[in-house]
Amino acid sequence: MSLCANVTVMSDFQHIQADFFCSEMLHKGEDLAQYVYNVAETRATGTVKISAKCIRTTSLSEEPYNVELDIDPTSRHVISAYCTCVADVIGACKHATASYIVVNRERTESCTDLTKRWKAPSSKLLALYRKGIL
């Protein structure tokens, strides 16, 4: 008997394929991506589910929308999507699309992980103080 617990990932998401969402929804989702939070990917045997919350832009005092994306574990295609908004007729609303965008954009690198781009030494200073030469 094999026991496999659910694994929940809160960062370092794997890329999701975009063929589930139409280009119009992808455009609308871009505008809402900043309102998506609490994104989590739960992996169990044979299933992957991404859940997120999306703040309502029309009424900030109301509860956020709950979004769920069912992902094929091998191809990483969205199989189905669900949102608690009234427009979620076919599961491809702008809130689900925004959640997809956040997952594909998410990066865990900090500014210290990147190559120094600010206040880089000038070429004159680099020529004066070459590394490795005494």
* Closest C-alpha to 93, from 103, 83, 102: 83
CB atoms near residue 104 (< 10 Å):
14
What residue ranges do the domains of the chain occupy? 7-109
Alpha-carbon gap, residue 9 to 78, rounded angstroms = 17
Listed in sequence order, the residues at least 6 apart from 86 whose beta carbon sits closer than 8 Å to its beta carbon are none
Residues 49-100 pLDDT 10s: 999 999 998 888 899 999 999 999 889 999 999 999 988 666 678 999 999 9
CA end-to-end distance (rounded Å), the chain:
65
Entry pTM: 0.71
Helix (H, G, I), strand (E, B) or coil at 4: coil
User: Taking a C-beta distance cutoff of 8 angstroms, is the pair 95, 67 a contact?
Assistant: yes
Q: Is 2.60.40 the CATH number for 7-109?
A: no
